[in-house]
Amino acid sequence: MEQKIIWDNRYSSIKHNSQSSEWVEKYREYFREKKERTIIDLGCGKGDNSYHLTEAGYSNIIACDFSPVAIEYINKTYPTIETRCFDMINEFPGDIKNVGVVLASLSTHYFSMNDTVKLYRNIYDILEPTGYFIFRVNGKKEFENNDKNNIHSVIENDYYLLNDGTTKRYFDIDSISALLKSFLIVDVHETDSKYHGQTKYYIEGIAQKV
């Protein structure tokens, strides 16, 4: 099934969850530094992180996702948040440039290595010099602890089709660092936290365009 349809179906039932945004607070100082600049919430889903940042006083957020159901939900629920509906694997809309912060929470681990390399290059390109990329992706521990019994087939090394029809990539610090080689890596680490009630294992960090 097309990945976008899977997400549209999920967003007909997934609820807004403010707790899933608490991790963003760790990067408070970087957001503050870029307060006057555009902030992109890439793969925003129902906008939990965009809403969290809006509540913290940020008014220049663009929430982006390829699921029309998710984007319509944000438009209705948080009408002050600007939204865009596009597939991040294609080119980004031309007016998204000179961005202060790209926040990508659990949204850049769905793709083939070719597409992931292209995506990370596009993220680098839309940032302004000194702009930040703040990310969370699936860690390999997520595969070991949660997903390994739910795999339909291997697509590539560390990249799988799951039984629910979604594709997922699992990272470690080396594999994410290789993708970020054009950036200055400010911090990258393994972490875990509750996400919609379940313990999930991530690689998280922040990188700066130099």
* Minimum gap (Å) between residue 43 Cβ and ligand SAM: 3
Min. distance of Cβ 206 from ligand SAM in angstroms? 16
DSSP strand pairing (39-42 vs 99-105): parallel
Kind and range of the H or E run holding 103: strand 99-105
Q: Nearer to ligand SAM by C-beta: 130 or 199?
A: 199
For residue 101, give the nearest of 51, 52, 48, 28 by alpha carbon: 28
Residues between 21 and 50 that touch ligand SAM (CB under 6 A): 43-45, 48-49
| Residue 139 burial (CB count, 10 A) | 24
96-125 footprint of ligand SAM as x/- string (CB under 6 A)? ---------xxx--x---------------
Of 49 and 122, the one with the shorter C-beta distance to ligand SAM is: 49
Per-residue contact flags (x/-) with ligand SAM for residues 51 to 70, judged by CB under 6 A? --------------xxx--x
CA distances from 197 to 17, 19, 20, 143, 160 (A): 10, 10, 9, 17, 23
Q: Is 143 in the site for ligand SAM (CB under 6 A)?
A: no
Q: Quick count: other Cβ atoms within 10 Å of Cβ 74?
A: 24
Q: Is 122 helix (H, G, I), strand (E, B) or coil?
A: helix
For the CB of residue 122, give the shortest distance to ligand SAM in the complex, in Å.
11
Tokens of 164: 């629910």
Closest CA relative to residue 53, chosen from 115, 134, 120, 124: 134
The answer to whether residue 7 forms part of the interface with ligand SAM (CB under 6 A) is yes
Q: How far is the CB of 49 from ligand SAM (least distance, A)?
A: 6
Which residues contribute to the site for ligand SAM (CB under 6 A)? 3, 7, 20, 43-45, 48-49, 65-67, 70, 87-89, 105-107, 110
